[in-house]
Amino acid sequence: MKFWLILILVFVAVRYVLPIVLRLVLAGFVRKQMRNGGFVVPPQSRPGPPPVPGEVRVDYVPPVAPEAEKPPGFKGGEYVDYEEVK
């Protein structure tokens, strides 16, 4: 009998009390963030002239790594024909 009473109390707490407590806690958190200027969404694009149809605009170009030095007289590797053996 004691087990069923504890089970019912836990069910009632999870079903009815927990949502109210979570709603109060989250409402306080949202109010605090709004007071502190939180939840700011950064602008997505820079203002400027509208793009011309068919024109490609690149926002970021990654830096190019320097090429490794090759020994003098190196003209490339040798081609090896690959054949799968089963």
The tens digit of pLDDT for each residue in 49-73 reads: 777 888 887 878 888 877 767 667 7
Buried b (16+ CB within 10 A) or exposed e, 24-40: eeeeeeeeeeeeeeeee
Q: What is the mean pLDDT of residues 63-85?
A: 75
Helix (H/G/I), strand (E/B), else coil: 15: helix
pLDDT at 82 over 90: no
pTM of the model: 0.38
pLDDT tens digits for 5-58? 999 999 998 999 999 999 999 998 888 887 877 666 666 666 667 778 888 878
Query: What's the pLDDT score for residue 16?
Result: 92
